A = this chain, B = another copy of it.
Amino acid sequence: MHALTYHSPGRVVVADVPMPVIGAPTDAIVKVTLAGICGTDLHVVRGDFAGMVPGAVVGHEFVGEVITVGASVLHLRPGDRVMGSDFTACGHCRWCDGGNHWHCRERGFFGTGSAFGDRLSGAQAEYVRVPHADTTLALLPSSCPPEAAILIGDNLATGWAAVERAALEPGDCVAVIGGGAVGQLTALSAQIASAGIVVVIEPNARRRAFAQSHGSLAAHPDEAGALVSKLTDGAGADVVIEAVGGNGPIDLAMSLARPRGRIVSIGTHAAETYAFPVARAFRDEMTVSFAIGDPIRLRTRLLRLVAAGALDPTVVIDARGTLSDAPDLYRQLETQQRLKAIVIP
C-alpha cells in the first residue's frame, strides 16, 4: 500500500510499504479515508523522535472504515465507520477506568517512533493497524463530519484538555499563548466553556487575524502584557494556556496570570528543567498544571458539542490534498503558510 514515510531529517516521501496485519486479538485494521497532519509530525520530519527510522510511516490522526478485527474485538465489525485517537490504551486498567488513558501502560502513539510509548506505524497511509481497537476507536456518528473527527482525535482534544484543566468560571479572561491549530482550537474551546474574553497571543499576523475573526482578541507577544492588563484592570488573566512549549512561553504565561491565577501548559517541553519563579508563585498562590489531550476520554463530550453546532473545529483546516501532495503540505505547515492540513490517502 502507499504511505507517507520518514526518509531523513527534513524529508518525507510517499513509499510502498507492506499492508498491516492483525497482530493481537484486540487489533483492528482500518482503511484510512482521511488523515491529518499535526504540528507533532513536523518534529518527526526534523528527525527529532527516537525510534523513527527511515521508512517508518508517519501520522496519528485518522478516520476510516474497519476492514478486519481480531477475535477479541467485541464492539466493532468490518464496515463500521470509525474515528481514531492519536494514542492507544487498554481500556480496563486503573488509569483507563479513571478516564486517564494517557497513563495506561499499554499506550502506543501512532507514527512517532518510540517517543511516547510502544512504536506503532502511522496513519498517513492507506491502512493502519489499531491496537486495543474497542478502546482506541469509536464509531463515527453521522452527526460528526469526518474532518471534525480528525480534530477531535487529537488537536481539539488537546485544546479541550487545557480548558477542562483550567476549570473556567463564567466570564474568565483567558489568554492562549500560540495561534497554531491547537492554540486556535483552545481559544474556541474556552469560548464555549464560558470564558468572558479570550486573547490569542501569537507573533504571526495572519494567525492573529484568524483568531480575531473567530471570536477572540489577539496580541503580539510583545504587546500581550499591556493588553491583558488593560482588560483586567491591572490584575492579570484568570487563566493562561500555554500552547507552544518551551520555557520562554511558560515565563510569558506566568507573567500574564493574576494572583491565584491558573496556568495550563499543553506545549511540548524538551528541556528537562525550567527556572520556575517559585517565590512569586508562592506569594501569589499560583497554580501550574500540565495537560495532554485524551481523545478517548473527551470524544463523547466533543462529539456532542459538534452535533449541537456549538463548536465547529473544522474552521482551522485550510489545506487539503492527496498522499502525493503531503510532502508539499508539510512544507506549507512548516513555514506557517497553513494552519492545518488534511490528507486523503
Contacts and interface: CB of A to CB of B under 8 A. Distances in A.
A290 interface: yes
A97 interface: yes
Given A94-B235, A192-B170, A274 B285 contact: no
Given A273-B275, A289-B286, A310-B197, A103 B170 contact: no
Interface stretch (A11-19, A56-64, A300-308, A319-327): A300-308
B282 A268 contact: yes
A170 B278 contact: no
A92 interface: yes
A285 B279 contact: no
Contacts of A259: 95, 100, 103
B282 A273 contact: no
Contacts of A1: none
Given A92-B75, A171-B308, A282 B287 contact: no
With a 10 A CB-CB cut-off, give which of A92, A94, A271, A290 has the most chain B CB atoms: A290
Give the number of times this chain occurs in the complex, counting copies: 4
Contacts of A69: none
Contacts of A285: 100, 102-103, 289-292
Contact of A74 (B74, B197, B235): B74
Contacts of A310: 170-171, 195-197
Contact of A274 (B197, B276, B286): B276
A260 interface: yes
A273 to B, nearest CB: 4
Contacts of A292: 282, 285
A98 B259 CA distance: 12
Closest 9 CB pairs of A and B: A196-B308, A276-B276, A171-B304, A274-B278, A287-B289, A273-B275, A171-B305, A282-B290, A269-B282
